[in-house]
């Protein structure tokens, strides 16, 4: 798979700050990959997301070193609006992303900006409405829908522009667990149906892990770890050291490893953990027999 994002020795420091928000980042993201980015607050996750969409350095003042290349072209070389056709961003605050007076207006706004024709807009509107299950909400104004619904609208509005790369910056941080799951359901559908490259910055690991192909840990502006998802969580001590609590299944099996009761890959989900425990019991019974 070709790399759609290539970041080389990239550092970014906001104006009037003492330390860089991002330090010497090197990262390659291949096409069609679902990448999860985690890290404690202030680790530079949002700055990295903004760097991929051109909001940095476009909208913020600061000092940049290194290169951020998206689809073979450095972000600064894209004309206004061009990069946004390729990289869609969903932000954390559902309130501030709703820029129109009804859900339908919001969904078509980006498509109108790209100069699509009415039949194209209608076709894509139908697609995203079904994907994000927004049918009954189309005529609703922003103050009549919940935060979770607004976030699905924001996601659908970006999806409607059919970007090749989607960056979601803590899309569920302001949502309740049910709304959170619904947003991830949409992402799951998207992963199944499309070949988009999806980058999700998220604290909610239980939703992220089943979808992520690869994971990145950022801390203090530096890229600490980048691995395939299973391999990534085998480094649970490193994650804990940087303020990230791995899923309960990982912690439980890590304890079993320390107690000498288990050897092998740490499971990431309850389902995997249950399967491993079942195998442990079968093995133990086999040993006794």
Partner 1 sequence: MNKTLLGYVPNQSPIYAIHPFVKLYFLLVVSLFPLFIADPVWNILLMAVIVILMWYSRVNMRTLRIYVPIAISMGTIILISYTVLGGTHPEYSLIFQPLGINIYWERIRDAIVVYFRILPMIFTMVFFLSTSRERDMIVAMRSVKVPFVITYVFAMALRAAGMVLEDFQIVRQAEQARGFDTTGKSIGYKIRKYVMYMIPLFALSLRRSEEFTNALIARGYAFTGEASKVKRADYILTHYPFKTYDFILIALISLFFVTLLVLRYGFGFFSVDQSLLINFLRSLLVR
Binding characters for partner 1, 60-99, by CB under 8 A (x = yes): -------------------xxx--xx--xx-x-x-xxxxx
Selected binder of partner 1 within 31, 105, 185, 213 (CB under 8 A):
105
Pick from 109, 185, 252, 269: which binds partner 1 (CB under 8 A)? Answer: 109
Site residues (CB under 8 A) for partner 1, limited to 159-188:
161
Give 187 or 225: the residue with its C-beta nearer to partner 1. 187
Site for partner 1 in 31-60 (CB under 8 A): 50, 53-55, 58-59
**Closer by beta carbon to partner 1, 58 or else 66:** 58
Judge whether 94 and 150 are in contact, CB under 8 Å. yes
Q: H or E stretch including 9?
A: strand 3-14
In terms of Cβ atoms closer than 10 Å to its own Cβ (0-12, 13-18, 19+), residue 56 is: buried
Instruction: Give yes or no for residue 158 binding partner 1 (CB under 8 A).
Output: yes
CA distance 289 to 271: 27
DSSP 88-138: EEE-S-TTTT--SSSHHHHHHHHHHHTT--HHHHHHHHHHHHHHTT-GGGT
How many beta carbons lie within 10 A of that of residue 30, not counting itself? 14
In whole angstroms, the minimum distance from the beta carbon of 286 to partner 1 comes to 56
Print the binding letters for residues 196-215 with partner 1: x by CB under 8 A, - otherwise: --------------------
Q: Are 14 and 62 in contact (CB under 8 A)?
A: yes
Query: Contact residues for partner 1 (CB under 8 A)?
Result: 50, 53-55, 58-59, 79-81, 84-85, 88-89, 91, 93, 95-102, 104-105, 108-118, 121-122, 125, 141-144, 154, 157-158, 161
């Amino acid at each position: 798979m070709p790399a759609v994002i290539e970041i080389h020795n990239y550092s970014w420091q906001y104006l009037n700050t003492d330390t860089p928000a991002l330090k010497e980042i090197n990262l390659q993201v291949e096409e069609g990959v679902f990448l999860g980015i985690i890290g404690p607050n202030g680790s530079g996750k949002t700055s990295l997301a903004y760097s991929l969409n051109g909001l940095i350095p476009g909208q913020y003042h600061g000092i940049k070193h290194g290169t951020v290349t998206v689809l073979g072209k450095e972000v600064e070389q894209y004309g206004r609006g061009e990069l946004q056709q390729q990289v869609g961003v969903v932000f954390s605050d559902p309130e501030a992303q709703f820029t129109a007076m009804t859900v339908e207006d919001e969904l078509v706004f980006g498509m109108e900006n790209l100069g699509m024709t009415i039949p194209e807009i209608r076709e894509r509107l139908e697609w995203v409405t079904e994907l994000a299950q927004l049918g009954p909400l189309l005529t609703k104004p922003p103050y009549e829908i919940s935060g979770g619904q607004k976030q699905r609208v924001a996601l659908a509005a970006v999806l409607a522009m059919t970007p090749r790369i989607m960056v979601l910056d803590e899309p569920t941080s302001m949502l309740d667990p049910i709304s959170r799951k619904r947003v991830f359901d949409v992402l799951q559908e998207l992963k199944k149906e499309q070949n988009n490259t999806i980058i999700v910055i998220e604290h909610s690991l239980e939703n992220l892990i089943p979808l992520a192909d690869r994971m990145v840990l950022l801390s203090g502006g530096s890229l600490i770890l980048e691995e395939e998802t299973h391999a990534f969580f085998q480094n649970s001590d490193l994650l804990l050291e940087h303020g990230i609590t791995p899923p309960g299944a990982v912690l439980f099996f890590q304890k079993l490893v320390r107690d000498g009761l288990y050897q092998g890959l740490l499971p990431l989900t309850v389902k995997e953990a249950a399967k491993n425990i079942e195998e442990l019991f079968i093995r133990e019974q086999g040993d006794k027999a």
